[in-house]
Amino acid sequence: MKKIKTTPYIPQEFSVEKVSATEANIIAYPFETGFAVSLAHPLRRFLLSSSQGYAPIGIKIEGATHEFDSVRGMIEDVSEFIINLKSVRFKITNGQDEVVASFSFTGPKEITGAELVAEGIEVITPDAFLATLNEDATLNFSVIVHKGIGYVPSEDIRDDLADGYIALDAFFTPVRKATYTIENVLVEDNPNFEKVIINIVTDGQIKPLDAFNDALKVMQSQMAVFNSHMNVSTPQTVERLEETAELKKLTMKIDELGLSARSFNCLDRSGITYIGELVIMSENDLKNVKNLGKKSLEEITEKIAEYGFPMHETISDELASALKKKLEK
């Protein structure tokens, strides 16, 4: 006989599997049947449509008045140069929404993304090819790099540009791929619970986990219209995600900190097994651990900080309560 439920099962397991600097798998489970895809599908849409990125939206080339023009001494015509420019991925580093960068090159030279060095921007595709200049060529141009989401055609940009600039189709989205798979997992005697694995690949403008976190925030903000009108009180999705990830770190054993033998043995002999036990200890309690010297204390403090928990900094009551329950088990 099936158990009668009054509320859906709340998933507790969360992990991030880093594949590379630009790819990661987000894993969460166990979900009730059908719940995993109900969450994963809209998150995928938000990842692809609402992640902030940077793109060139306009270019002004000395000696060229339109995209079908040519520049003396440059092998590529302006239209081909623009196509190549669109493959260069920029990142604004000064916190502004827009940066205008100017460049000047003389031949003979092969220009790549690595050559586009300017204040306020960073090129994250240094090997991207732009143009080849002959020995008698001079190429002067300015690029407008802007922050945005999604895709904006040049027709929607043209009227906002200064005279002399050629409008470019802007591909802002930094998420190159977002897919998900659903697997069954066993919970007690029920094999029909679900695990979701969301694979995220970015172009390097943003880290995969940051893109996922941003998608959660956007999803939550879109749903807030229902909460505000229906007086529904719901948990903060992003905070729950962060707290679940933090709890996982706190329940890791201290041997995963990579401590020296002396520091580890002092803690081990004192019955301290988990990272969370160290985090919730007061400064005096830690100093009173038998045979724990100053150097060992500094080493432990440094290692704990690397996991995102500065020693003696208070964690939330909800996280502390969840930690105590885990430790009691």
pLDDT one-digit tens code per residue, 8-27: 888 988 999 999 999 999 99
Residue 242 located in a structural domain = no
d(CA 50, CA 147): 12
Residue 237 is predicted with a pLDDT of 46
Strand 98-106 relative to strand 129-133: parallel, antiparallel, unpaired?
unpaired
d(CA 314, CA 300): 17
d(CA 37, CA 126): 38
Please determine, for residue 225, whether its predicted confidence score (pLDDT) is greater than 50.
yes
pTM above 0.75, yes or no: no
Looking at residue 83, which CATH number applies to its domain?
A: 2.170.120.12
Write out pLDDT tens, residues 265-292.
888 888 888 888 888 887 778 888 888 8
Residue 263 is predicted with a pLDDT of 86
- Same domain (yes/no): 158, 267: no
Residue 5 located in a structural domain = no
Residue 283 phi, psi dihedral angles, 5° rounding = -60, -40
Please determine, for residue 120, whether its predicted confidence score (pLDDT) is greater than 70.
yes
- Same domain (yes/no): 65, 148: yes
Least confident of 186-190, 249-253, 306-310: 306-310
Question: Residue 135 is part of which domain span?
Answer: 53-171
Least confident of 53-57, 146-150, 321-325: 321-325
Q: How many domains does the chain have?
A: 3
Q: How confident is the model at residue 302 (pLDDT cuts 50, 70, 90)?
A: confident
Residue 296 located in a structural domain = yes
Residue 4 located in a structural domain = no
- Same domain (yes/no): 278, 317: yes
Residue 241 is predicted with a pLDDT of 44
d(CA 153, CA 170): 6
